[in-house]
Amino acid sequence: MNSGCQKNDVHVVKRRLLISGLVQGVGFRWEYRRVAEAAGTAGWARNLADGRVEVLLEGPADAVAKVEAWCHTGPRHAVVTGVEDEDDPLDDLAGGPDGP
């Protein structure tokens, strides 16, 4: 179930993902930013102390789905063993690596 809203006739969703496996030290965050920008989504990615990568992304539902699908494989040297996902309220994207 994706929560979202209509913005200019586009269904916008926001997702929070927790990616497990060999996902730190393999360029996951850098490549994620490239993929997310190319898809037209906004958000951020950060390493967690437990070895996972946390991702928050927002955009048109089809673009978010494309980026989320990429997160299940990640960049070439990553070994993704799991992706937990959840809907996130559609407020601002603050609180990330560059947020407050």
DSSP letters spanning 5-33: EEETTEEEEEEEEEEEEE-SSSSHHHHHH
Catalytic (active site) residue 33:
no
- Average pLDDT of the chain is 86
Q: What is the pLDDT of residues 17-54, one digit of tens each?
A: 999 999 999 999 999 999 999 999 999 999 999 999 99
- For residue 51, give the 3-state DSSP assignment: coil
Q: Bin 59: left if φ > 0, else alpha if -120 < ψ < 50, else beta.
A: left
pTM above 0.85, yes or no: no
Catalytic (active site) residue 2:
no
Question: Which H helix or E strand runs over 67?
Answer: helix 61-71
Q: Where are the domains of the chain?
A: 10-87
In this predicted structure, what is the pLDDT of residue 14? 94
Does the domain spanning 10-87 belong to CATH 3.30.70.100? yes
Q: Which residue in the list 15, 33, 46, 47 is annotated as catalytic?
A: 47
Q: Which residue in the list 2, 8, 15, 29 is annotated as catalytic?
A: 29
